[in-house]
Structure 1
């Protein structure tokens, strides 16, 4: 009983995601790749970037940095698992034009630098610069609400709100 009274940890249920990239926010159905547009990996939004820097959209922990540096996975404090996938078919670049600033296990805060990327290289050598931001464990979420469309600013504009039970 004392453990119940004094051992309770604060449980964060709802987390607001801020834009990880400056650019134009669009719904996933606008992404020219069925894996994302048909929400096969989960729900979220996409941003067509106007600059080549991605920052953390939440306070959390880096759970994956892809060897090709084109994607990063973050676990938010409420358990939401977030994938930031920079561009489409960018895995084939094998890291060309990408520089990461974090590694697995790092704790991050909103606005911390994650990865820089060369938009010109992506425009020339990949399918698209559009960047899906996906909640990969959407099936476990109580709710997911898009908060922005149009112009968004990295680290400042709320783009998604995700609630877990």
Structure 2
């Protein structure tokens, strides 16, 4: 009876035009609480998922950074993450966010996520020395991109013949500033562009 009275008082006291979202919460000793006003639901704090999923930027075989024949990358000088030994000439966005194309050669780019994490994608080893025009951008600097969106295209066979490795690295920059932990995904070493690669647990 007490629960019914509380529900009637709530209905009488609500705004005429305020819709209700029914909820059924069992509160021991208090009975049925009644429906929750939509206004209260809208003002409730959002639940934030602390995990950021990072996807493969290209088809290929997953490599640890220590397997990349570049000491600056292998020693995580540019950041922590994983690499994919590329098997195609299409590089896609591993995360959603704002795209930055800081190099005229387009051999690397960064994406800043909504949470402010900078993800660097570096295509191959010593590709910085390749002539401009080797890599073709499918997007513009400053664009907002989504996961799996094509970013860079190149002639795979031609570039493969000119460089030591096409290991394409996905690196989380300034990782200590964000206090995140890189967690490689279990599973096959072979991935397609857009597959899960690793996750970031934001602490």
Map residues 20-99 of structure 1 onto 2, 5 A cutoff: 20-99=57-136
Q: Secondary structure at the match of 1:125?
A: coil
Which structure is larger by alpha-carbon Rg, 1 or 2? 2
1:142 aligns with 2:196: no
1:153 aligns with 2:192: yes
Mapped to 1, the partners of 2:61 and 2:133 lie a distance apart of 24
Q: In the comparison of the two structures, how many residue pairs are matched?
A: 160
1:164 aligns with 2:202: yes
Is the 1:53–1:113 contact (alpha carbons within 8 Å) kept by the matching residues of 2? yes
In the superposition, relative to structure 1, how do residues 68 and 35 fare at CA in structure 2: closer, same or farther (>3 Å)?
A: same
Deviations 1:39-77 (A, max 9, x none): 111100011111110111111111334210111100122
The unaligned stretches of length 5 or more in structure 2 are 1-41
Deviations 1:73-99 (A, max 9, x none): 001222221111111100111334211
Mapped to 2, the partners of 1:147 and 1:95 lie a distance apart of 35
Q: Secondary structure at the match of 2:142?
A: coil
81-90 or 10-19: bigger deviation: 10-19
Q: Secondary structure at the match of 2:136?
A: strand
The unaligned stretches of length 5 or more in structure 1 are none
Is the 2:105–2:134 contact (alpha carbons within 8 Å) kept by the matching residues of 1? no
Mapped to 1, the partners of 2:44 and 2:137 lie a distance apart of 38
TM-score (norm 1): 0.87
Alpha-carbon distance, 1:132 to partner: 1.1
Alpha-carbon distance, 1:7 to partner: 9.7
More strand by share: 1
Residue of structure 1 in register with 2:10 after alignment: none
Mapped to 1, the partners of 2:144 and 2:155 lie a distance apart of 25
TM-score (norm 2): 0.72
What RMSD, in angstroms, separates the aligned Cα atoms of the two structures? 2.1
Q: Identify which of 151, 159, 181 aligns with 1:122.
A: 159
Q: Secondary structure at the match of 2:157?
A: helix
